[in-house]
Chain A
Amino acid sequence: MASKQMLRYLFRRFLFLFVTYVVATTVVFLLPRVIPGNPLSQLLSNLSMVAQANPEAIRAAERALMEEFGLGKPWYVQYVEFISKALRGDLGTSITFYPRKVLDLIVPVLPWTLVLLLPATLVAWILGNTLGAQAAYRRNTWVDKGVLTTSLVVSQIPYYWLGMIFIFLFGVRLKLLPTQGAYSQGVIPSLTFSFFVDVLRHYILPFLSIVVSAMGGWAIGMRLMVIYELGSDYVLFSETLGVSDKRIFKYVFRNSLLPQITGLALSLGSILGGALITEIVFNYPGTGYLLFRALTTLDYPMIQGIFVILIASVYLANFLVDFIYAVIDPRIRIGQEA
């Protein structure tokens, strides 16, 4: 099934994403060293200012920071060390939670983010595309106008603000659902039914805020794609041949879906960004919440570590989408130049 051309395409994409990853980590490396005002030395002097409180721990953290950033060594040694560490998954030591490793802190929060982000993104994508296609198919009816108008407004609502509105309406006013966390306070995570229900109740509001506001954009895009497709030659030709509307719509839907898959790959980053902030609004114990804590305490090794992981996962997801695209698009599957 996997043709030579398809493998070549995937290899090219992989190479591109790998180079991009190295460029991105280089930027992560360069930023603290080129931004004026040198935030690291700032952080060091901050640390020594509070050193009276707990001199031993602070000095240890200071040493760790020096070592983490390889300050004092020539820049190219620092750079090679940084890249090789990043590729091996060694992300250094956190300052706030000294002496815990950054990776050990990120690993437990990642599943919460994935559990929220992946289903929400997929559901929004599927619902949005279906709605948009239906609207285009019924162009200029009240269905179309309703979908378009709603989508234009809804697509511009930041996830986190919709989250605030949901918290206020369903949590504070109607008291239907919990307003923060991933499970009730004091509950110990376990594999029981009651814990599952508890998690689910906490999950509904952040999930819905992402789904609802992400859906609009997909609907707008899909509507446009389907309108374009409906005006294309093969549709007119099929109509003159007397092919049923249902079948034509199926073809059109499939063809319009391809650009939407590319669109999904391209907007992964902004979806992730929005979801991270939504986590903060909900005090949801995911990566966004951890990042927020790291940002407020200027825990630079942790900030860098989170970014190296997040950027890598965006590229990985990109590659997955490329793979799906290659499987779905016959032009790549049979090796025709797209």
Chain B
Amino acid sequence: MTDFLAYSFVQRALVTGLLLGVMCAVLSFFVVIRRMAFVGVGLSHAALGGVAVGLVLGLPPLVSAALFTVGVAWVVGWLRGRAEVSEDTAIGVFFPTSMALGVILISVTPAYRQDLMAYLFGNILSVRPDEVLPLAVLCVVGLGLIGMYFKELLFLGVDEEAARAAGLPAGRLRFLLLTLLAVTIVAAVRLVGIVLVSAFLVIPAATGQAVARSLGTMLVTAVVSALVSVVVGLWLSWSWNLPSGAAIVLVSAVLFFLALARGRRRAA
């Protein structure tokens, strides 16, 4: 383990992974409460379209992906407020379309196929020094916003109509959550990749829910399980030369099943 921590690229990966782990875990709390798992899957797929646009146009792929994914999230949020299209349908149409756009763009520019694999499955061990600070700022700002509007987002997640009747700005809060989700998904692409990032937006909270007896404990358990997943997953990845994103998500899934087993034993 000491050897593992001696390398600067591992240290960077750990710092980045832990920050993103906390952010994903906290967001997963609201994803589970608001039953938004499908939105997480859809947004992560939309991110591929944004990455592809960036690669083809010569823009920083994560920046273009962030702009693209936030834009798609806003369109879906806007459509949700209208009667013509349900949120499920909007996601089902927009997100695979974005991914298809990404696949087409990358297929006509073969030089980028290698890059595509890194975005699809993530490689946090390749995080550059200049990427750490922006990710840290993103996580601090995101967590600050969630902390500020925590009880409002909770009320909205549990009973949207009553929250609106109580005078909460439901529309603005929904856009805030969608925006944070979109930006975090794009940032976490470095951690676990487009294919697996949606798992990291559900499993930590599901782990917390399986064992916790209060919302506070659920949130803390979600964060701790995400942190453990990042550390153990990275160590496994470094030790056995495994893909880092897949290793992190698998550790996260193991923790979930352990929590589920413990929760069931306690309930029995």
Judge: A and B partners, yes or no. Answer: no
Q: Please give the residue numbers on chain A whose beta carbons come within 8 Å of chain B beta carbons, in ascending order.
A: none
Q: Please give the residue numbers on chain B whose beta carbons come within 8 Å of chain A beta carbons, in ascending order.
A: none
